[in-house]
Structure 1
Amino acid sequence: MPLLSIRRRSTRHLVRGDHRLLMVGQGRRRLWLLALGLPLLVGALWFAERREQAAELAALREENRQLKASLEESRLLHREAQAAERQLVRRNAELSARVKRLSTELAFFRKQKDNP
């Protein structure tokens, strides 16, 4: 039987038959398209990821700048509060010393009044 499959076809059979044109190397073209397309796809995905990371980094830098500004403002308010507290403590000490001095003077004058 193998000899029958190798047998040449007749011209009549070839004329009556359905013939399709096939491009030679069509499989190679697909392979080349795949070989070129795959790195391009990977490159495009990498580029998109890098853009996304850059946008996220920019947002984080902006948030960091705002947090630093807020921290500096809080530090300034804390220093102002400490300065006001020191000033009040100093003023309280001055007033306490004055009250003590005036109490001493009052005691002296009362004593002078009682001893004519």
Structure 2
Amino acid sequence: MSHQIIHSDQAPSAVGPYSQAVGAAKGTTYYLSGQIGLEPQSGSLVESSFHNQVRQAFDNLLAVIEACGAQRTDVVKLTLYLTDLSRFGEVNTIMAEVFDEPYPARSTLGVSSLPKGASFEVDAVVVV
């Protein structure tokens, strides 16, 4: 699946591992629900560290992407939710390990709380 990476010099350059916009060819679109750092087997929140919660949330998202018959390269849009925006840099580092360039488009929101006391949540739009 080829994506058209959109960049405008009239808007600020990306400040992390994401593209300003991504155009997707005609295909099937999947809107993935948010994933938090729950361990799939136990349903318990990973509590050992913020890093581990973020990594588990991305692992959970990747599992759903695979269930769609898609790959991480089919992700066109991510939305990140953080209860502490001062940890934005940590999330950028992990996201750059999970996704390769060209990065999907992305939005990041600071929120007051997330389900089950999570510190991070991610959702995605996937086109195959």
TM bin, normalised by shorter chain, reads under 0.3
Bigger share in strand: 2
- Higher relative contact order, structure no. (Cα contacts within 8 Å, ≥ 6 residues apart): 2
TM-score for the superposition, normalised by structure 1: 0.19
Which has the larger helix fraction? 1
